[in-house]
Amino acid sequence: MNDLSRPALGRLAINGQRLWDSLMTLAKIGATDKGGVCRLALTDLDRQGRELFVGWAREAGCTVRVDRIGNIFARREGIDPSRPAVATGSHIDTQPTGGKFDGNFGVLAGLEVVRTLNDLGLRTVSPIEVCVWTNEEGSRFVPVMMGSGVWAGAFSLGHALAARDRDGISVGDALASIGFAGSSPAAVADGAPRLGAYLEAHIEQGPILEDAEVTIGAVTGALGQRWYDVAVTGMEAHAGPTPMRLRKDALFAATHLMQDVIAIALREQPHGRGTVGSVDVFPNSRNVIPGRVRFSVDFRHATDEGLARMDSALRAAADAVARRFPVQAVVEQVVYFEPVAFAPPLVDAVRAGAQRLGLSCMDIVSGAGHDAVYVARHAPTAMIFVPCKDGISHNEIEDARPEDLSAGANVLLQAMLEQAALAPAA
Ligand SMILES: [Zn+2]
C-alpha cells in the first residue's frame, strides 16, 4: 500500500444531510409531543428502531449479527477478515423523556461512515463494525449499559437476562418478544469477537464544549461513579396527635443527609459531583409523619481516591444523622464504576482527525457513563464528543446543530480509517 493509491484522509467527508435525515427518521419512532423521544429498551418501539437500523445496515451491504443480550453488530468486511474489527456505535434506547441524539448519533454516525466508504468505493484492511448496545439507559431494566457490560464481563449474561422491569417482565422475555434474542456469544469471555479498536461518537450531554465554543471533544476518560440507595427509617404516626418532640420523622432526618450529599461533592471540586435524584417517602400521605424514606445518591469523581473520600463522608454523615435524630440510616452502595482512562493512541487519533479537518478540539473527561467505558476493558477505546444545545440531555428539548454532528462524524471517519487502514485501490 502506498499513499498515492488512496485519497488523502483529510479530503474525505461524510454526507451531513444524510446523517441528519437518518437521525430525524429514527427520532420519529417514539416521538413525543415536546420534540423528544421515548423509546425504552426492548419495547415494541425499540424493536422498530432496531429493525430500521438493521434494514439500513443491510442496504449498505453489511452483514448483521445479534448476540444473546440483543447487541447488534453490523459488519462491513475488510480485505483481511481475520483482523479484529475496528468498531463504533452506541445505543438507540432512550430515557422516558429522552432526546433525538443521545446514543442515536453514535449509531447513525457509524452507519454514515459505512455509507460514505461505499459512496467512495473504499475498502479497509480491517473490518468495520457498527454496534448497537442493548439497554444503555437503564431506565426500564437495571443495570445500565447492560449490553456492553455483558460483552465486557462486568456482570454475567444470566444476571442481565433475569433483570425485570416494574411489570415483572424479564430482559430475556422482552428480547424474545421483540425478536432480538440472538444466538451469537454475548461476552468476550464466552467467545464474542474481540474488537481491534472502539470509537464512540456522542453528544457531550454537558455544557463544556458549547461554553468554550469548541466543536470536538477528545474524550480522555470518564469519571468514576458510586451509586447508593439510602434508607432512613423512623415511625409513621398521626400528624395531629403526635407532638413535635415525640416524633420519629424519617423525612426530616433524610433532608439533612441530602444536604450533606451536596456538601460532600462541593468539597471535591472541580470533578466531584453529588446528586440526590430520586426520593420515595412512605406512606407519602399528607397527614402522616413519614416513617420511611428511600433516596438515591450518585457520586462521581475523576479518581478512585476522591470517590473513596466521598464514600466515607457519606457513611459518616449517615451515622451522624442517626445519632442526632431518632431514626436509622442505612447506606447501601448499588453501583460502582471505576474511573476510566481511554487509550492514548486513539485519543490522539481523534485529536489528529480534528486537526486535519481544521476543527477546534479540546480534551474533555466524560461525566456520564457510556458503553465505551465498558468496551474499554477489552479494546483500545476513545470517544468523540460534540456540543449539544445548552448542554442539555436526558430531556426532550435535547438539541444539536447539524454542522456539529457532521463534524463529529467526520472526525469519526478519520479516526476509524486511521485504525482500519484504507486498502490500496483495486
Ligand atoms: Zn448515551
Q: What is the DSSP code string of 334-381?
A: EEEE--EE--HHHHHHHHHHHHHTT--EEEEEESS--HHHHHTTTS-E
- Which residues are bridge partners to 226 per DSSP? 299, 336
Which parts of the chain sit beneath pLDDT 70?
A: 1-7, 426
Give residue 91 CA to ligand 1 midpoint distance, Å. 6
CA 371/CA 394 separation, integer angstroms? 16
Q: What is the pLDDT of residue 6?
A: 56
Spatial CA neighbour of 324 closest among 259, 264, 248 = 248
Spatial neighbors of 317 by CB under 8 A, at least 6 apart, are 257, 260, 261, 264
Give residue 394 CA to ligand 1 midpoint distance, Å. 9
Give residue 202 CA to ligand 1 midpoint distance, Å. 7
- State in Å, rounded, how far the first CA of the chain is from the last one: 11
What is the 8-class DSSP label of residue 81? T
CA 108/CA 93 separation, integer angstroms? 13
Q: What is the pLDDT of residue 181?
A: 98
Give residue 253 CA to ligand 1 midpoint distance, Å. 35
Biggest CA-to-CA distance, the chain: 89
Give residue 106 CA to ligand 1 midpoint distance, Å. 8
Give residue 282 CA to ligand 1 midpoint distance, Å. 33
> Per the structure block, which three cell numbers stand in for 268?
471535591
C-alpha distances in Å from residue 29, one per residue of 24, 38, 115, 280? 9, 8, 22, 32
Q: Where would I find the H helices in 184-339?
A: 208-212, 250-266, 304-324
CA 182/CA 188 separation, integer angstroms? 15
Q: What is the pLDDT of residue 271?
A: 87
Q: Which residues of 119-145 are buried (b: 16+ CB within 10 A; e: fewer)?
A: eeeebbbbbbbbbbbbbbbbbbbebbb
Give residue 423 CA to ligand 1 midpoint distance, Å. 32
Q: What is the pLDDT of residue 426?
A: 60
CA 147/CA 167 separation, integer angstroms? 21
Spatial CA neighbour of 131 closest among 177, 74, 169 = 74
Q: Where would I find the H helices in 70-189?
A: 104-120, 146-152, 157-162, 171-177
Give residue 10 CA to ligand 1 midpoint distance, Å. 28
> Per the structure block, which three cell numbers stand in for 169?
417482565
Q: What is the pLDDT of residue 7?
A: 64
Helices then strands (H, E): number in the chain?
12, 16
CA 383/CA 335 separation, integer angstroms? 23
Give residue 63 CA to ligand 1 midpoint distance, Å. 24
CA 306/CA 224 separation, integer angstroms? 9
The answer to whether residues 416 and 199 touch, using CB atoms and an 8 Å cutoff, is yes
CA 188/CA 378 separation, integer angstroms? 8
Give residue 5 CA to ligand 1 midpoint distance, Å. 38
Spatial neighbors of 233 by CB under 8 A, at least 6 apart, are 250, 291, 292, 327, 328, 329, 330
Give residue 370 CA to ligand 1 midpoint distance, Å. 6
* Cα 421 from chain centre: 28
CA 274/CA 350 separation, integer angstroms? 30
